[in-house]
Amino acid sequence: MESTLKFDKTDLKLRIVFFLVGLFIMGLGISLIAVSNFGNGPWDAVNIGLSEKTGLSIGLCMNIVAFIQIIIGGIIRKEFPNIVTMITSIFLGLFIDFWMLFLGNIVITEILMKFTLFILALPIISIGISIYLVSKLPNTPLDYFMLSIKSKFNLSLMASKITSESIGLVLGFILGGTIGIGTIIIILAIGPMIQYLQNPCNYVFCKLSQKTEVTTL
């Protein structure tokens, strides 16, 4: 999914703000899901599983996985890997590590509390992604990897998304990441939430962009 707004360099400062704020909020949501231990997204399970195996931070592991996704995506496309997409991963990894400094030591044992925290995290992630998408700045390495699969095997966007998520699901299971009913909920719920939030986020961006133009005149 992507924003319907066209890229305009005159909005660059505002786009950078939306890019960073979106990733910051997204990092909070991902961290809350990790703390809830109710089930992660397939590739988040890979990152967390790798973190638990190696002792490295979740953010650093996410960047390692992202780099591998970019390399494989480039091989699939038979082109030089789009390293620019690492920018998104690096910032998101830093924000996740920032939030985990405050949330990482929280241990929740009650199922109801886990579920409540998990449900709270879903709209937070969706809001973050929706704000970040409005910026039209670099896609994530996972998107690059998914679109590489799409172009190589001539799949629909949905089929390529399912394929990439299935790969993450298998790897997450192998690495011992938390995979549960929450994983399925994430796969089914995040997309519609983002779809619903895109228009409001586009509207806010347009309003702020108009104010910026008036101020600079």
What pLDDT shows up at residue 46? 94
Q: What is the rounded distance in angstroms from the CA atom of residue 99 to the CA atom of residue 29?
A: 9
Domains of the chain, residue spans = 9-216
Handedness of CA 88, 203, 192, 108 (dihedral sign): positive
Counting every residue written for the chain, the total comes to 217
> Mean pLDDT lowest for which of 5-9, 79-83, 121-125, 188-192?
5-9
What pLDDT shows up at residue 217? 46
Residue 98 identity: F
Q: 10 or 119: whose pLDDT is higher?
A: 119
User: Residue 215: pLDDT above 80?
Assistant: no
* Top-confidence range, 124-128, 152-156, 175-179: 124-128
Per-residue pLDDT band for 19 (boundaries 50, 70, 90) equals very high
Mean of the per-residue pLDDT values for the chain?
Answer: 87
pTM, 2 dp: 0.81
Residue-wise pLDDT tens digits, 66-115: 999 999 999 999 999 989 999 999 999 999 999 999 998 888 889 999 99
User: Residue 212: pLDDT above 60?
Assistant: no
Distances (CA, A) of 14 to 27, 144, 194: 20, 24, 20
Contact present, 114 and 108 (Cβ < 8 Å) = yes
